[in-house]
Amino acid sequence: MSLESSEPVGAELGAPAQTPSSPHKGMFGIEGTGDVSGFGGLVRRKPDVVGSPKPYGSYFDEVTDALEEAYPGFADAIEKVVVDRDELTLHIVPEKIAEVAQIMRDDESLRFELCSSVSGVDYLNSDTRRLHVIYQLTSMTYRRRVRLEVAVPAGGSVPTVTSVYPTADWQEREAYDMFGVLFTGHPNLTRILMPDDWEGHPQLKDYPLGGVPVEYKGAEIPPPDQRRVYQ
């Protein structure tokens, strides 16, 4: 993230503070009132997720080596391998996710029989391919876990893994419902938690939380997404 327009705010006499509403600037997210804290110009930069170098340690080398051996398109399909906090994440090219999942499940030295969880994350403003879909796989044979991650732009599409893991059916529907990720080839991609006629995808970062101000003992407290918060 760049450091654009990081001029001190509230410096001009009599002018209202122009604390930007970006979640990574300033400390309180205030607009329209004077900020004398001096923290309004703070910019928090997020480090990019970088790939980890080999050897990865733990069982991670075994898993990646086994996948490389079993899957001829390994070099084209794997964007990067990240080992963080004792967990292995394989970033996959979106089009290849179903193929990789198939091998992860079926190869004898991998055997990730269970797809524990499928969910989405919206990396608005920090990744151009803002929507990430995350697959948590569990190998019951070897008692291992691995995470697959794909990234697509808003409204992008990802091949479904339901033919490999039928359990992903509802979970992909939830990711579609909440983030608008389209899973191509899904047998029944409809909303699951929100009503059928709902507009928008509520878990997106630019979708407001909503709410009404609450009065408590004479003081009015704004809804949660409009309160002052430390960032």
Partner 1 sequence: MTSSGYATERETTEGRVFTVTGGDWDTITGSIDPLSNEKIVVNMGPQHPSTHGVLRLVLELEGETVTEARCVIGYLHTGIEKNLEYRNWTQGTTFVTRADYLAPLFNEAGYVLGVEKLLGITDDITERAQTIRVLFMELNRISSHLVWLATAGMEIGAISMMLYGFREREYILDIFEETTGLRMNHAYFRPGGVANDIPESAIKKIRDFLVYMPKKLKEYEDLLSGQIIWQQRTQGVAVLDVTGCLALGITGPVLRSAGLAWDLRKTLPYSGYENYEFDVPTATTGDVWGRYQVRMAEMRESLKIVEQALDRLKPGPIFIADKKIAWPAQLALGVDGMGNSLEHVANIMGQSMESLIHHFKLVTEGFRVPAGQVYIGIEHPRGELGVHVVSDGGTHPYRVHMRDPSFVNLQAIPAMAEGALIADVIAGGASLDPVMGGCDR
The correct pick among 42, 156, 167, 182 for binding partner 1 (CB under 8 A) is 167
> Alpha-carbon distance 110 to 143, whole Å?
10
DSSP string spanning 28-59?
Answer: S---SS---SS-TT-BPPPPPP-PPPSP--TT
Count of residues engaged in binding partner 1, rule: CB under 8 A? 47
Question: Residues near 78 by Cβ (< 8 Å), separated by ≥ 6?
Answer: 67, 90, 91, 92, 93
The correct pick among 20, 34, 156, 202 for binding partner 1 (CB under 8 A) is 202
SS (H, E, C) 143-194: CEEEEEEEEECCCCEEECCCCCCCCHHHHHHHHHHHHCCEEECCCCCCCCCC
Q: Is 43 in the site for partner 1 (CB under 8 A)?
A: no
Which pairing describes strands 87-92 and 144-152: parallel, antiparallel, or unpaired? parallel
For residues 46-65, which are near partner 1 according to CB under 8 A? Answer: 46-47
Copy the structure tokens of residue 199.
């507009």
> With respect to partner 1, which residue has the nearer C-beta, 147 or 157?
147
Q: Is 209 in the site for partner 1 (CB under 8 A)?
A: yes
- DSSP annotation of 14: T
Stretch that binds partner 1, among 2-10, 53-61, 73-81, 188-196 (CB under 8 A): 188-196
For residues 147-166, which are near partner 1 according to CB under 8 A? Answer: 147, 165-166
- Shortest approach of partner 1 to residue 193 CB, angstroms? 4
Give the distance, in angstroms, between the CA of residue 139 and the centroid of all CA atoms in the same chain: 23
> Alpha-carbon distance 167 to 61, whole Å?
27
> With respect to partner 1, which residue has the nearer C-beta, 33 or 198?
198
The correct pick among 35, 89, 131, 152 for binding partner 1 (CB under 8 A) is 89
- Shortest approach of partner 1 to residue 80 CB, angstroms? 14
Q: Is 217 in the site for partner 1 (CB under 8 A)?
A: no
For residues 115-144, which are near partner 1 according to CB under 8 A? Answer: 115-117, 119-122, 126, 134, 136, 138, 140, 143
CB 79 within 8 A of CB 139: no
Stretch that binds partner 1, among 32-40, 57-65, 73-81, 109-117 (CB under 8 A): 109-117
Q: How far is CA 178 from CA 47, 173, 197, in A?
A: 26, 9, 14
Q: Give me the residues that bind partner 1 (CB under 8 A), please.
A: 23, 44, 46-47, 84-85, 87, 89, 113-117, 119-122, 126, 134, 136, 138, 140, 143, 145, 147, 165-171, 174, 191-195, 202-203, 209, 224-225, 227, 229-231
